[in-house]
Structure 1
Amino acid sequence: MATVSLEDVRKVYRGGVAAVKGVSLDIADGEFISLVGPSGCGKSTTLNLIAGLEEMSGGTLRIDGAVVNDMSPRERDIAMVFQSYALYPHLDVARNLAFPLKVAGVAKADIDARVREVASLLGLEGLLSRKPKELSGGQRQRVALGRALVRRPKVFLFDEPLSNLDAALRTQMRGEIKKLHEQLKATFVYVTHDQAEAMTLSDRVVVMNQGEVQQVAPPRELYDAPANLFVAGFFGAPRINLVKPRTLGLPDADVVLGLRPEHLEVGQGTPPPEALEGHVYLVESMGAESWVTVDVAGERMVARAAGDFRVPTGAPVWLRYDAAKLRRFDAKSGRAL
């Protein structure tokens, strides 16, 4: 497998539109790293630059220590799994899996052996004679994965591979991809807009916005210690509460305070000491838990409560928080303090 290193990598399109603005990143051999961020943040463009599908405007890109700036995608020895599966509709599963090896001139006996190996790994043995139109979405995605695996590349690149699947299939395939990475111990670079995918799959997550890297860290660190307001607001469902100090009864300062909903206790009746008082704006039942939105001092805050929490809109409630869980951000720069 291989390391991947980006040093001040940039991509500027015609007309001066900068899609990637000086990204520097070192990906370890065998690491699973995800690029996340909103649409247009530069994550897919960065992946395409690694793949060689886009020409870099500046910077240096290395795979396994070798500079690949001027190498074609084939010379870089990478495999890419796309959102659209990109299967050949006239070929059955076996021939779809074999196609990249056939193009590379691999001997037929070796092709057959590798196809059987990958089919066994991905549970495709009973599907080898089927055409793509005869497969479910999850089966097609496994074939797309298999076509990448069969080549035994240095690096695997994934461009939102699960976004076309329904929620249940997406969860199932997420587990399969994680197990696959554990088995292969290969270098995976994965692009997604889904924070749950990034959090559950990755060794580290790269958060991007407007072509720039905002933070690179393990998932738990991103959640517990976001580097700035953007990262804080991007991760978490429901989202972190970002409020002014006076909302929490604290002295005014040029900061924004962040509190995760699970760090807020909500209740009725006589408020405990130092609790905030407010009124219920909305209760959303999510089954095992409820999300309770409360109006407090002119701002709305969301707290997590038990699934059986039932309070009518407008009813008085109190909120209590642990000051140790507060996150502080500079109001002007957005940086964590």
Structure 2
Amino acid sequence: MATVSLEDVRKVYRGGVAAVKGVTLHIADGEFISLVGPSGCGKSTTLNLIAGLEELSGGTLRIDGAVVNGMSPRERDIAMVFQSYALYPHMDVARNLAFPLVVAGMARGDIDARVREVASVLGLEALLSRRPKELSGGQRQRVALGRALVRRPKVFLFDEPLSNLDAALRTQMRGEIKKLHEQLKATFIYVTHDQAEAMTLSDRVVVMNQGEVQQVAPPRELYDAPANLFVAGFFGSPRINLVKPATLAQPEGNVVLGLRPEHLHVGQGPAPAGTLEGRVYLVEPMGAESWVTVEVAGERMVARAPGDFHAPTGAPVWLRYDAARLRRFDATSGRAM
């Protein structure tokens, strides 16, 4: 397998539109790293630069220590799994899996052995004679994974591979991709807009916005110690509460305070000392828990409550929080303090 290093990598399109602005990143051998961010943030362009599908406007890109600027995708020894599956409809699963090896000129016996091996790993043995139109979305995605896996490349690249699947299949395929990475111990670079995918799959997550890297860290660190307001707001569902100090009765200066909904406790009845008083704006039952939006001092905050919590709109409630859980951000720069 291989390391991947980006040093001040840039991509500027005609007309001066900068899609990637000086990205520097080192990906270790065997690491699973995800690139996340909103649409247009530069994550897919960065992946295409690594793959060789886009030409660098500046900077240096290395795979396994070798500079690959200007090399074709084939010369880089990478495999890419796309959102669209990109399977050949006239070929059965076996021939789809074998195709990259046929193009590479591998001997027929070796191709058959490799296809059987990959089919076993991905549970495709019973599907080898079927064509793509006879497969479910999850089965098609496993075939797309297999076609990348069969080549045994240095690096695996994934461009939002699960976005076409329904919620249940996405959850199942996330588990299969995670298990596959654990088995192969290969270098995986994964692009997604789905924070749950990034958090559950990755060793580290790269958060991008407007072509720039905002933070690179393990998932838990991103969640607990975001580097700035953008990262704080991107991770977490429901989103972090970002409020003025006066809302929480905090004697702060030019700051924005952040508090995760699960760190706010909502209660009914007489307000205990040291709590915030407000009124219910919305209750969202989620089964085991409920999310309650409360209006406090002109701002709305979301708090977690038990699944059986019930209160009508406008009902008085109180909120308790632990000041140690507060995250502070400079109101001008947005950086964590």
Coarse TM-score class (shorter-chain normalised): over 0.9
Correspondence for 1:280: 280
- Output the CA distance in 1 between the equivalents of 2:297 and 2:42: 38
> Can you give the 5+ residue segments of structure 2 that lack an aligned partner in the other structure?
none
Which residue type is aligned with residue 261 of structure 2?
P
> Aligned AA for 2:7?
E
Distance in 2 of aligned mates of 1:153 and 1:279:
57
Counterpart residue type for residue 22 of structure 1:
G
Question: Which residues in structure 2 correspond to 1:1-337 (within 5 Å)?
Answer: 1-337=1-337
Amino acid at match of 1:175: G
Instruction: For 2:123 and 2:218, locate their aligned partners in 1 and report how far apart those are by CA, in whole Å.
Output: 31
Counterpart-to-counterpart distance in 2, 1:271 and 1:322: 16
Give the whole-Å Cα distance in 1 for the aligned partners of 2:271 and 2:181: 50
User: Distance in 1 between the 2:176 and 2:114 partners?
Assistant: 20
CA–CA separation in structure 1 for the residues paired with 2:48 and 2:110: 30
In 1, the alpha carbon distance for the partners of 2:45 and 2:99 equals 26
SS in 1 for 2:168: helix
Q: How far is the alpha carbon of 1:313 from its aligned partner?
A: 0.6
Structure 1 distance, partners of 2:176, 2:264, is: 35
CA distance in 2, matches of 1:251, 1:329: 14
TM-score normalised according to structure 1 size = 1.00
**Count of equivalent residues:** 337
Measured after TM superposition, the shift of residue 263 of structure 1 is 0.4
Structure 2 counterpart of 1:69, one-letter code: N
Superposed displacement of residue 273, structure 1: 1.5
Amino acid in structure 1 at the alignment position of 2:13: Y
CA RMSD of aligned residues (A): 0.4
CA distance in 2 between counterparts of 1:28 and 1:236 reads 27
How much has 1:251 moved relative to structure 2?
Answer: 2.2
For residues 190-236 of structure 1, the C-alpha deviation after alignment (integer angstroms, 9 at most, x for no partner) is 00000000000000000000000000000000000000000000000
Shift in Å, 1:250: 1.6
| TM-score, length basis structure 2 | 1.00
* 5+ long unaligned stretches in structure 1: none
SS of the residue aligned with 1:253? coil
CA distance in 2, matches of 1:48, 1:287: 41
Identity of aligned residues (%): 90
- CA-CA distance at 1:253 after TM superposition: 1.3
Distance in 2 separating the partners of 1:317 and 1:281? 10
Find runs of 4+ consecutive structure 1 residues off by over 2 angstroms. none
CA positional deviation for 1:252: 4.7
Query: Structure 1 CA distance, aligned partners of 2:135 and 2:322?
Result: 51
Distance 2:264 2:58 in 1: 46
